[in-house]
Every structure is written in C-alpha cells, then in structure tokens.
C-alpha cells in the first residue's frame, strides 16, 4: 500500500489546474504515492412521469445531456493522462467519476473516511459571492476530517 494516499477533488476550473500543478511538483517525484482524481457530477434530474411534455422534450435531448456528462468523464481521463506524462505511475493513478448525491463537501468527507485517504488537496473557492450562497467546501472538509493532511490551494 502506498505511504501517501492522495485525494484530489477536480472540478475543471482554473484553481483545480493549480491544485494539479501543486500535486505534481510536490508529490510527482515520490515513489510511495497514490493519487485519485475525483469528480462528482450532477446527475440528470428525475422527472415524474405525469410531466409528459417535459419528459418528451427531455427524452428527445437526453442523448445530448448524457453526451455532455460523458465528455466530462473523458476530460477527467485526459487530466489523468497529463499526470501520467509528468511522472506518476499508472498503477498509482485513479479516477473516480460519480453522480453526486449530496453537497460536495459531504461527498469528499465520505470518500476520505471510507477509502482511508491520508492527504487531500483541495482549493479554496476564490469567489466571495458564490461562497456566500453555497458555503465553503474547504472549511467543512477541514473541520470534519481527522488524521488527514489537507493541502489548500488558493
């Protein structure tokens, strides 16, 4: 088992690229490192069957919506590929692309706890207004985790 098991939540924003660069420069040269890129996407909304016209419209365009989600998964794989090229070993690199069921902080906390990650690299959302409305992911994660190193990129 790797000495450092790192979780890097990735949301395709510029700050995530910065977090990726940090992971690469800090851990890329180490042998006993395992890194997991994690993205929780918004699953397509469930619509009750009685809303026939909406269902009809959505069904018609469902392939477009699904295709967009698949594109994101491919983008995450491309990020993994980038990490491979910079020195991380293939068997030490993983991606998790899953539908989100709750807020992103709760998803991260659950994953770290269940899968025994000992390092989390997370970014500090720079936007004041969006943080005001959605809450701070990093402060929720930091206050909930124990025995975990949390690296914050801002």
Q: Does 53 bind other proteins (CB under 8 A)?
A: yes
Q: How many CA atoms does the CB half-sphere of 84 hold within 13 Å?
A: 11
CB of 123 to other proteins, least distance (A): 13
Residue 32 or 81: the one with the smaller Cβ distance to other proteins is 81
Structure tokens at 16: 């995530």
Give residues 78-137 in contact with other proteins (rule: CB under 8 A).
Answer: 100, 102-104, 127-130, 132-135
Stretch that binds other proteins, among 25-33, 39-47, 80-88, 109-117 (CB under 8 A): 39-47
Alpha-carbon dihedral sign for residues 127, 128, 134, 138: positive
Q: How many residues are there in the chain?
A: 154
Q: What is the rounded distance in angstroms from the CA atom of residue 90 to the CA atom of residue 88?
A: 6
Out of 47, 70, 84, 89, the residue judged to bind other proteins by CB under 8 A: 47
* Chosen residue from 64, 74, 114, 147 binding other proteins by CB under 8 A: 64
Which residue stretches of the chain are H helix?
A: 14-27, 52-85, 104-115, 128-134, 137-144
**Position 49 contacts other proteins (CB under 8 A):** no
Please report, for residues 31, 67, 92, the alpha-carbon distance to residue 43 in angstroms, rounded to integers and kept in the order given.
36, 12, 28
Q: Which residues would be at the binding site for other proteins (CB under 8 A)?
A: 12-14, 17, 42, 44-45, 47-48, 51-54, 57-58, 60-62, 64-65, 68, 75, 100, 102-104, 127-130, 132-135
């Amino acid at each position: 088992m790797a000495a450092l098991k790192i979780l890097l939540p990735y949301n395709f924003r510029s700050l995530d690229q910065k977090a990726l660069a940090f992971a690469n420069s800090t851990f890329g040269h180490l042998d006993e490192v395992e890194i997991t890129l994690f993205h929780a996407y918004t699953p397509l909304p469930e619509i009750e069957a009685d809303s026939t016209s909406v269902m009809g419209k959505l069904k018609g365009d469902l392939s477009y919506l699904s295709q967009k989600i698949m594109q994101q998964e491919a983008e995450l794989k491309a990020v993994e590929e980038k990490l491979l090229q910079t020195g991380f070993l293939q068997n030490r690199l993983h991606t998790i692309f899953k539908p989100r069921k709750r807020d992103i902080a709760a998803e991260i906390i659950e994953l770290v706890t269940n899968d025994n990650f000992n390092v989390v690299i997370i970014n500090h959302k720079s936007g004041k207004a969006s943080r005001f409305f959605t809450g701070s992911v990093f402060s929720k994660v930091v206050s909930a985790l124990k025995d975990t190193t949390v690296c914050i990129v801002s």
